[in-house]
Amino acid sequence: MRDTIFCVFSVLTTLVIAAVSLRYVRDFYLLSFVYSFQLHLAVAAAAASIAALLVKRHWYGFLTLGVSLILAGHGVVMMREFVEPAVDENRPALFRLLSFNIENDNFANGPAIADMAIASGADVVNILEAEPVQSELPRLLKTYPYYIGCGVAMEQCDTLVLSKRPLIEPRIRSLGLLWRNRLTVSTIDFDGRKVNFLAAHLTKPYYDEFHGLEIEDLDEIIPSLPGPLVLAGDFNTSILAPDVQYLMRRQGLGTVSLEPATWPIRAGPFGIPIDHIFSKAPLRLKSVRRIENSFGSNHFGLMAEFVVDP
């Protein structure tokens, strides 16, 4: 009986380790979502290995435990690779950004989401799958008189960017080949300091290779926008995904020490961050925090503060 239990634990652990380890051989899109959970799965595999060893001491249990700990450790290393130096808490922020995928059928919470955005104190608001707040635009525009999306530059109401300051040359771009008009590009002047804003909504990573193509498009667009830059939105995958890591390295993007988990909402802080706010020098993130109320969405929103280095 003990041999059977040990065998079951070992087989399951081996399958998990094999699935996660494939990232080091080839970026296979069907496993992209698995790669986002590398840390979670590695910890689970380590726990299963320990359980197997409690049932029966065997060299294979120690092997799977060692490999699991290596995968977990490398997951932590990859998450910290793009962390920017901490900003002094007393240093005033140049601006604040709210980014939130509110879910396109979340109409019952549209008014509450609009209330939250107005009261947030954010200078710029990115709302993805924004149709539930389209009817709230008249009062949103009293606080954020400048915007793109939901009838401005595109008929759809998927990506909406609201700003207290004028948007310079705002435009809509498409990413990849699957969805259209899911990237907004604009520039905002903060008292003489111009900052480029990209609000992106990427497709799910297991939809063929479309996610990778969207990352490639971003990799071409970002260099065309010199100076401080923000890339924010719903990536539908974590920073551990190989294609996101590729973009971060290529474009010199940075993040905070611990990205808040935004999905699934039932997992709370034990979920994964699939919604991101990245910065490019000389812009730096001072802080990123999760909005604890999901307002009926299947994502948590994010609030970030930025500074610009001389």
Domain residue extents for the chain: 1-81, 95-308
Using N-to-C axis directions, what is the helix angle for 2-21 and 38-55, rounded to 10°? 160
Show the DSSP H helices in the chain as ranges.
2-21, 32-36, 38-55, 59-80, 110-119, 137-143, 210-221, 242-251
3-state secondary structure of 127: strand
Beta strands in 70-178 (DSSP E): 95-101, 124-128, 146-148, 159-163, 167-175
CA torsion 308→163→90→83, rounded to 10°?
-50
What confidence score (pLDDT) does residue 284 get?
95
pLDDT, tens digit, 9 for 90 and up, residues 87-113: 888 889 999 999 999 999 999 999 999
What confidence score (pLDDT) does residue 127 get?
96
Encoding tokens for residue 262? 């935004």
Encoding tokens for residue 94? 């140049």
What confidence score (pLDDT) does residue 153 get?
65
The answer, yes or no, to whether the previous bond of 170 is cis (omega within 30 of 0) is no
- Using CA atoms, how far residue 131 sits from 123, 160, 181, in Å, is 21, 9, 14
Q: Which residues of the chain register pLDDT less than 50?
A: none
What confidence score (pLDDT) does residue 206 get?
80
For residues 156 and 149, give the distance between their C-alpha atoms in angstroms, rounded to a whole number: 7
Residue 2 one-letter amino acid: R
CATH of segment(s) 95-308: 3.60.10.10
Determine how β-strand 159-163 pairs with β-strand 229-234.
unpaired
SS3 content of the chain, % helix, strand, coil (to 5): 40, 25, 30
3-state secondary structure of 29: helix
